[in-house]
Amino acid sequence: MGRARGQNAIMALGFETAYGTPPANGYTKLPFVSCNLGAEQGLIESDLLGQGRAPYDPTYDVVTNDGDVVVPLDANGFPLWLKLLFGAPTTFPFTGGYAHLFSAGLPSLPSASIEVGLPDRPSFSTNYGIRANTLQVNMQRSGLANATIGLVGKGETVPSLTTNAGTPAPVDLFRFASGSGSIFIDGVVVGEVTAAQVSYSNGLDKDETIRADGEINDVDPGMPSASLSLTTKFADLALYNKATAKVPVAVELKWNIAGIPNMVIAFPRLFLPRVKRPITGPGGVMAEFRGIGSAGNGGVLFTVQMTNMTPSYG
C-alpha cells in the first residue's frame, strides 16, 4: 500500500432516490480542485466531580459532515453541481446543442452521495445525504475560473479498499477561462469592472431530530439569497447613477468557449447601494458595489444557464 496523494484522488457523484441512501449505480466521475468533505464526531469533556483529580472518560458528540468543494467552471461537469444546488433545469434546444436553465427557489432540492477515492492507499468512502447550500464564483481578468460550493451532509461510510461507485461515467472537460468572461448591466457591456464575486445561498436548515446514530435527520430548503460584489474603476457615473436611482438593474455574467458551450449567471433584479469613492493614493480611484438580488413579486431571484451538447439533466 502506498501513501495517499491528492493528484490521484477520485470524486464520483450520484443522485439519491431516498435521502441518505447511496445509489447502487449512476455515478459520474467529476473533476475537482479541492475537497474537505468527511464526517467528524467530536468529544465532550467530562464534567463529573467526586472522582478525584483524574478526569472521567469523554462523551462522543453528534456527527457532522459539512464541507466545501472547489470545482472548475466547465460546460459538462459543473451542471451536475448546479442540479444539486437548484434542482433539475428547464431544457430547450439551442442552435447546435441544448440550453439548461437552472433557477433558484424550487420547493424541494435533490440530495446526492459523493464518493472520494484515494486509490494509492487504497481507500474509498462515500459521503451520503449531501445537499448543496452555497455557491461562490469569482470573476477576474485572468486566471482559472472556479466555483466554491458549500455542502451539508448526513454522514460518511467507513473507508473500504474497493470503490462503492462502480465504474463512474466520465465527463468531457470543457473548462471556461476567466479571460472569456464579460458583464452586462441592463443589456450593456460594462468595461470598468475589475473584479466580481457572485454569492448564493439556499439557506439550508438542518433537521436535528434526536437520533441514536448522532446524524442529522434531513436538510430542509430555507429562504434563498443572492448577492453580487462589483469592484469598478471610477471612470463615469453610469453605475453610481443607477445606484442612486434606487431601482433594480438586470445583471448578466457570461463566459464562453469557442463554439457552443457558454454559461450565463443572471440577477434579474439586483439593487445597487450608493457607495463611497475613496482616494487612497496617486493611482486610479475605485468604487465597490455590493448588490443584493431580489425576486420581486413572483419573479426569479437567480438563474444559471449552461449551453452544451447534453440533452438532459432531469
Considering the domain boundaries, does residue 281 fall inside one?
Answer: yes
What pLDDT score was predicted for residue 225? 97
Cα separation of 83 and 89, whole Å? 7
Task: Provide block-wise average pLDDT over 10 residues at a time, the chain (314 residues).
Answer: 82 97 95 95 93 90 96 96 97 92 95 94 94 96 92 96 93 87 89 89 95 93 95 75 87 86 94 76 74 92 96 88
User: Is this prediction's pTM over 0.75?
Assistant: yes
Cα separation of 283 and 144, whole Å? 27
Extract long-range pairs of 281-288: CB within 8 Å, 24+ residues apart: 284/233, 284/234, 285/233, 285/234, 286/194, 286/231, 286/232, 286/233, 286/234, 287/231, 287/232, 287/234, 287/239, 287/240, 288/229, 288/230, 288/231, 288/232
Q: What would the DSSP string read from start to end of 50-73? A: SS-SSPPPPEEEEEEEEEEEEEE-
Give the residue among 221, 228, 208, 248 at the shortest CA–CA distance from 61.
208
What pLDDT score was predicted for residue 279? 67
Q: How many domains does the chain have?
A: 1
Considering the domain boundaries, does residue 313 fall inside one?
Answer: no
Q: Give 18's DSSP letter.
A: S
The CB-side HSE value for 73 (13 A sphere, CA atoms) comes to 31
What pLDDT score was predicted for residue 223? 95
Domain that holds residue 117: 6-308
What pLDDT score was predicted for residue 1? 62
Place of cell 457523484: 13
Considering the domain boundaries, does residue 40 fall inside one?
Answer: yes
Cα separation of 57 and 48, whole Å? 10
Considering the domain boundaries, does residue 194 fall inside one?
Answer: yes
Strand partners, 34: 70
| Phi, psi angle pair for 216, to nearest 5° | -70, 160
CB-neighbour burial class of residue 207 (10 A; exposed 0-12, middle 13-18, buried 19+): exposed
Considering the domain boundaries, does residue 57 fall inside one?
Answer: yes
What pLDDT score was predicted for residue 314? 77
Considering the domain boundaries, does residue 91 fall inside one?
Answer: yes
What pLDDT score was predicted for residue 211? 92
Considering the domain boundaries, does residue 1 fall inside one?
Answer: no
